[in-house]
Amino acid sequence: MLKIKNCLKFVNIFKINTTKRHSSKLNTEFLNKTFSIITDYLSNLKSGKINVINYLSPEELQKEIDLKLSDKDTSDEEILELTKKVLKYSAHSGHQHYCNSLFGGFSEYALAGDYISSSLNGIVTAYELAPVFSIMEKEVTRSYCDFLGWTHVDTMFAPGGSLANFYALLSARHFYFPHAKTDGILGFPRMKIFTSEVGHYSIEKGAIMMSIGSKNVVKVKADKYGRMIPEDLEQKIYQCKHNGEFPILVNVTLGTTVFGTFDPINEIADICQRNKIWLHADACFGGSMFFLEEFREKVKEGMSKADSLSWDPHKVLSVPMQCSLFVTRHKNILLDCNSLGADYLFMKDKVIYDAKIWDKGDQSIQCGRHIDVLKLWMYWKAYGSAGISVKLRNALDNARYLAALANKHHNFELIVEPDYVSVSFFYLPNRFLNRERDDKFWEELDHIAPKIKADMVKRGKLMVAYQRQSYNGQNLVNFFRPIVTLGKSKDDMEHIINEIHEIGKDL
Ligand SMILES: Cc1ncc(COP(=O)(O)O)c(C=O)c1O
């Protein structure tokens, strides 16, 4: 009897909630309340009323928010309360004092683009599934390629810069060894890939995914600024050929992950041309610099010889994660390289439009592909290329200002003058000043940045990344590397210096 009663109770709860949840009417009340919570959050974020993070330990956080799932459903009111907590305890990358990652900042227009993409819940595989976005992807790519000076291109939006770089590796392998697509890489000469010793690890990950192997990614030396040394590249290519190995790709980094420096693409392009090697530009971080005419002019010669490029508009610009573009000047290579022509998806006999021109799905390494273009298009449309370049110039100016502040301050030591929006420096607590720079000094200094970072996160007033870096025959101990994304101010730069000094001076 008790059992039946319990059963009925369960059915009743289930009935009440499912009726509400499965109604054919839109739950506008819930959506409006959610949007209102988001809008409140964003205005508090913009006016600096909230901390950049409200840090709780994993144990505390699990007590604070009920994240467990169960058979039981949850009321709208409870979900809305949970939503507030989700926002409260997350890191706020749109905050003025978030300088931790290569992405950050915030734009209402780009955000609206993201909302709309999710509301449509579409994919960009076939024109009939994404008529507007199929054209929009072409238009956005064309505008960006105008900056590169490229006209006939093949392109793909990718879920992140690492995969945009992977498209380059796949394309280069296909260019030299098209049969590797079907036969695998056994039986072909040992393939080699060249990148700077401070290049992003996605190149090695790509080599692993292609079974080329991470050991076959040759690390070219960087100079004291972190730029690839062309002479070392040339010598390593010579050695590779001498060993009977086959260089398939040289990766130049335009905007390195830590120092934000630019490899000398013009000289490297000549080397690639002489040696007939695919030249890829990993401009995931630095690709936004193409909005500036003076930058385009500087790299024009190299770009005219390059084969492909990746760019992450989600870095530096305020376009939400993720939005990445791969572009190559080898028309049709993406289709040749990646297509399998699945009959159940990619029909070539469509009657109302030319599927060969408009259906991108078979050129991708994914099946369903998210609409990433809209948030970029909304952002670009709202500010225009001129508006974006003004914002970028302002960010570059702020980065130089931060470097100057670090240079002036006794407790800060700039590592390299910024080329871009990353500013790298050591912080020396008072007791380190005027000390002999022996091994003990560096060993102790290595522990300082992690300690400051821990306090920084607990205080919640700033987020800046720290790391070690080995290059050019030196092993730098832990140092800070704030990223000055768009929309920050001189006051924000001063805040970085003041907050680090406040936490660290007596350590
Ligand atoms: C130079 C460079 N290339 C590629 C990537 C990878 O980008 P994503 O994080 O979008 O995969 C990064 C990320 O930091 C990067 O700095």
DSSP readout, 257-325?
TTT--B--HHHHHHHHHHHT-EEEEEETTGGGGGGSHHHHHHHHHHHTT--EEEE-TTSSSSPPS--EE
Q: Is the pLDDT assigned to residue 315 strictly greater than 80?
A: yes
Task: Output the pLDDT for position 1.
Answer: 47
Amino acid identity of residue 170, one-letter, is L
- Across residues 157-178, what is the average pLDDT? 98
Q: Determine the average pLDDT of the residues in 248-273.
A: 98
- Residue to substitute in 251, 257, 262 for testing ligand 1 pocket (most ligand atoms within 8 angstroms of CB): 257
Average confidence (pLDDT) over 453-474: 97
Can you tell me which atom of ligand 1 is nearest the CA of 162? 11
> In the structure, what pLDDT confidence band is assigned to residue 345 with cuts at 50, 70 and 90?
confident
Q: Are 464 and 480 in contact (CB under 8 A)?
A: yes
Q: Specify whether the CB–CB gap between 363 and 334 falls below 8 A.
A: yes
CA of 197 to the centre of ligand 1 (A): 15
**Per-residue model confidence as pLDDT tens digits over 368-403:** 999 999 999 999 999 999 999 999 999 999 999 999
Between the CA of 404 and the centroid of ligand 1 the distance, in Å, is: 27
Q: Is the CB of 312 under 6 A from ligand 1?
A: yes
Hey, whose CA ends up nearest to atom 7 of ligand 1?
A: 161
Is the minimum distance from the CB of 161 to ligand 1 under 6 angstroms?
A: yes
Distance CA 335, CA 207 (A): 21
- The answer to whether 356 and 348 are in contact (CB under 8 A) is yes
Closest CA to 246 of 216, 279, 270: 216
Q: Is residue 156 within 6 Å of ligand 1 at its C-beta?
A: no
Work out the average pLDDT over 152-164.
96
- Write the CA distances from 227 to 148, 252, 256, 294, integer angstroms: 21, 9, 8, 19
> What is the C-alpha separation between 465 and 449, in angstroms, rounded?
9
Percentage, residues of the chain above pLDDT 90: 93
pLDDT of res. 365: 95
Q: Look up residue 317 and give its two tokens.
A: 């610009």
Residue 61 burial class via C-beta count within 10 angstroms: exposed 0-12, middle 13-18, buried 19 and up: middle
Output the average pLDDT for the chain.
94
Please classify residue 310 by burial: count the beta carbons closer than 10 Å to its beta carbon, then call 0-12 exposed, 13-18 middle and 19+ buried. Answer: buried
Where is average pLDDT lowest: 127-141, 265-279, 340-354, 493-507? Answer: 340-354
Average pLDDT over residues 174-183: 97
Dihedral sign of CA atoms 290, 296, 298, 304 in order:
positive
Taking the alpha carbons at both ends of the chain, their separation in whole angstroms is 69
Residue 349 · residue 328 · CB < 8 Å:
no
Span 8-34, pLDDT tens digits? 454 444 444 555 666 789 999 999 999
pLDDT at 22: 67
Whether cis (ω within 30° of 0) applies to the bond prior to 467 is: no
318 lines ligand 1 (CB under 6 A): no
pLDDT score at 348: 82
Please state, in angstroms and rounded to a whole number, the distance separating the CA atoms of residues 360 and 342: 13
Burial class (CB in 10 A: 0-12, 13-18, 19+), 443: exposed
The CB of 196 under 6 Å from ligand 1? The reply is no
The tokens for 227 are 């730029």
Q: Average pLDDT, stretch 126-137?
A: 96
Q: What is the predicted pLDDT for the residue at 349?
A: 87
Q: What is the pLDDT of residues 196-255, one digit of tens each?
A: 999 999 999 999 999 999 999 999 999 999 999 999 999 999 999 999 999 999 999 999
Return the pLDDT at 190: 97
For ligand 1, pick from 202, 228, 258, 481 the residue to mutate: most ligand atoms within 8 Å of CB: 202
DSSP string, 38-55: HHHHHHHHHTT-S-S---
